[in-house]
Amino acid sequence: MVKPWQERSVSIVFPIAEAWRMFRLAAQWDVHKGGRYESRGRILLIHAAPFTQGYERLSPQGRAEMHWDMPDDMHVTLTKVAWDLDEGGSEDLMWEALELLAGRSLR
């Protein structure tokens, strides 16, 4: 039986420069480049492993939703952290992945 994703609503505000740095790092560590991150607009996805040729449809283990210009145009707010238990995701895994990008503790 497929379980629904687990999620936690949060409200963590980042200065825009810090959020841009996080997304730049996610792009450097993209799943298509041997990393575990994938960005889709305001969504960061975390994968268990990099994509390999011929197996590019791995399901993500988790996702983080960021809202740009919230609360203002100089900030970005992390509003949701979600994880897929069936894919090996967990809340701790998500926080560790986000903290790696942020370079600091977020919990």
* Chain-centre distance for alpha carbon 49: 14
Structure tokens at 36: 């575990």
**pLDDT band at residue 3 using 50, 70 and 90 as cut-offs:** confident
Predicted pLDDT at 23:
96
Phi, psi of 92 (to 5 degrees): -60, -45
Q: What is the pLDDT of residues 16-68, one digit of tens each?
A: 999 999 999 999 999 888 889 999 999 999 998 777 655 556 789 999 999 99
Max Cα separation, the chain? Answer: 43
Predicted pLDDT at 2:
65
Predicted pLDDT at 18:
96
Structure tokens at 90: 């967990």
Predicted pLDDT at 54:
55
